A and B are shown apart, each in its own frame.
Chain A
Amino acid sequence: MSKFKKKGKKGAPGITTASLPDIVFMLLFFFMVVTKMRDSEMKVKIQVPAATELQKLEKKSLVSHVYIGSPIPKYAAVMGSAPRIQLNDQFADPSQIPFFIANEIEKLSNPKLRRAMTCAMRVDKEVKMGIVTEVKTELRKVNFRKVSYLASDAGELE
C-alpha cells in the first residue's frame, strides 16, 4: 500500500559510526587551536602588573621567558619566600642568564633571526626592582637588549 514500505529483515539498526572520525577530528583540531603550550611548569607565583601601552609578542619561537616571583608553597620550604628567578623549569641565579640566552640562541633555526629575539620578563608585581635590574644587567652583558615587561591589559585607564 505504502510506497515507502521497508522490505527485508526487521531489527534495530546500528547507529552509523561514519561521522565519528569527523567528531574526533573536530575535537582534536579544537584542542590543538585552543591549548596554549607552556613548556615549563611554573614554580614561582606570578601576578603581572597592569599596563595600557601593550605590544603583542608575535613570534612565539623568538621569545624567551624569564620568570621572577616568590616560590609557590610547594617549594617555599626549600627555597624560602624571597623572589627567585625561574628559567625553563628550574630555579636559577642571575649568573645563569648568559648560559640560558646562549641556549635559546642555539635553538634558532635561522641565525639571522637573532636580532628579532625578545626576552619576555614575566615578573610578579610585588617583586622589588633589585633582582629585576640584575637580570637586565646580565642581558645587557650578552648584548640581548630586546626585552618586554609582560603585563595584563588595564583597559582604559582614563
Chain B
Amino acid sequence: MAKRDLPEINAGSMADIAFLLLIFFLVTTTIQTDSGLSVLLPPYVEEPPPPEKKNKRNVFAVQINGNNDLLIRGRQCPDVNSIKEKAITFITNRGKDPNSSDSPNKAIISLLNDNGTSYEMYVAVYNQLKAAYNQLWEETSMEKYGRSYDDLNKEERKAVRNEYPLVISEAEPSDLLKS
C-alpha cells in the first residue's frame, strides 16, 4: 500500500499563538514587590539630648514592655487596634480637652519599646500610628482638594502633611521590665 500523504499543518499561525500567550502572561503576572512600613530614622547623636521639656499634654506616649503589654499615656491598653482611634482623638483635640494636645502641630508621638518587645508587636503599634496619620491626611486631602491623598502631587501632599505633621520620637529602648 502506498504511503498516504498527510496534509501539512499550517504553522504560520503558531507565532501568533505564541505571542498571544506571551502577552497573556505578561498582563496577568504581577511581579512581587517588597512592601513595608517606611520610616525615617532620627539622626544619630553621641549623647542623647536631655529630654525636652515638652508640655505633657502634647505628648502621646506609647510604651511597650518586654511582655508586649501596652501603656498609652500612662494607662494600660489591652487592645493594639484601639491605638489608632486614641491617637486620632488626641491629635485632633485642638485644645478642647485639657489633657490632650493643643493643636495637631504640637502633638508628638513618643514610642518607647523594651529590648524584649517582640518585633511583631512593635510593627503592629507602628502600623496603628501610621494608620492614624494616614486617615487624617486622607480626610484633609478630601476636604481641601476633593481628591484622595494618593492622587495629590508633591506640593499638595506637603501641604496636607503640614496640617498634621507626623512626629514619632523613639527613645532609646531600655529594659523596662526584665522578665
Q: Do A and B bind each other?
A: yes
Within 1-60 of A, Cβ neighbours of B (below 8 Å) are at 6, 9-13, 15-16, 18-19, 22-23, 25-26, 29-30, 33-34, 36, 48-49, 51-58
Q: Count the A residues whose beta carbon is within 8 Å of the partner chain — how many?
A: 59
A132 in contact with B119 given A13-B5, A141-B44, A150-B36 (CB within 8 Å): yes
Is A123 part of the binding interface, using a Cβ–Cβ cutoff of 8 Å? yes
Q: Which residue of B lies closest to A130 (CB)?
A: B115
Which residue on chain B has the smallest CB distance to residue A7? B5
For residue A101, give the distance in angstroms from its CB to the closest CB of chain B.
13
Chain A residues near B33 (CB, 8 Å)?
56-58
Contacts of A157 in B (CB 8 A): 81, 131
Bound form: Cα–Cα A29–B131 in Å: 39
Q: A136-B41, A139-B41 in contact; A11/B36 too (CB < 8 A)?
A: no
Assess the B5–A53 pair: CB atoms within 8 A. no
Check: A105 CB closer than 8 A to any chain B CB. Answer: no
> When chains A and B are docked, how far (Å) is the Cα of A79 from the Cα of B116?
21
Chain B contacts for A11, CB-based, 8 A:
3, 5
Chain A interface helix/strand/loop/mixed: mixed
If A26-B19, A55-B37, A146-B40 touch, does A16 touch B8 (CB 8 Å cutoff)? yes
Query: A157 vs B119: C-alpha distance in the bound complex, in angstroms?
Result: 19
Q: How far is the CA of A145 from the CA of B172 in the complex (A)?
A: 16
| Cross-chain contact A54 with B35 (CB below 8 angstroms) | yes
Scoring A121, A149, A157 by chain B CB atoms within 10 A of each residue's CB, the highest score goes to A149
Q: Is A118 an interface residue (CB 8 A)?
A: yes
Report A-chain residues with C-beta under 8 Å of the C-beta of B4: 10
Taking CB as reference atom, which chain A residue is nearest B126?
A149
Give every chain A residue within 8 A of B39 (Cβ-Cβ). 146-149
A67-105 vs B, CB cutoff 8 Å, 1 = contact: the mask equals: 000000000000000000000000000000000000000
Contact A10/B26 with A128-B119, A143-B44 known, Cβ cut-off 8 Å? no
Contact B36 A120 (CB under 8 A): yes
Return A152 CB to nearest CB of chain B, in Å.
8
Which of B9-17, B49-57, B155-163 is near enough to bind chain A? B9-17
A residues 94-145 touching B (CB-CB < 8 Å): 118, 120-130, 132-133, 136-137, 139-141, 143, 145
| B42 A22 Cβ-Cβ under 8 A | no
Contacts of B131 in A (CB 8 A): 52-53, 157
Chain B residue with Cβ nearest A146? B40
- Interface residues of chain A, those whose CB is within 8 Å of chain B, are 6, 9-13, 15-16, 18-19, 22-23, 25-26, 29-30, 33-34, 36, 48-49, 51-58, 63, 118, 120-130, 132-133, 136-137, 139-141, 143, 145-151, 153, 157
Other than the given A25-B22, A33-B29, A126-B118, 20 more pairs (CB < 8 A) read A12-B6, A13-B6, A19-B11, A19-B18, A29-B26, A33-B26, A34-B29, A51-B127, A53-B131, A54-B37, A55-B38, A56-B33, A57-B33, A57-B34, A120-B36, A128-B118, A129-B114, A129-B116, A129-B118, A151-B36
Chain B residues within 8 Å of A, Cβ to Cβ: 2-9, 11, 14-15, 18-19, 21-22, 25-26, 29, 31-44, 81, 113-120, 122-124, 126-127, 130-131, 134, 172-173
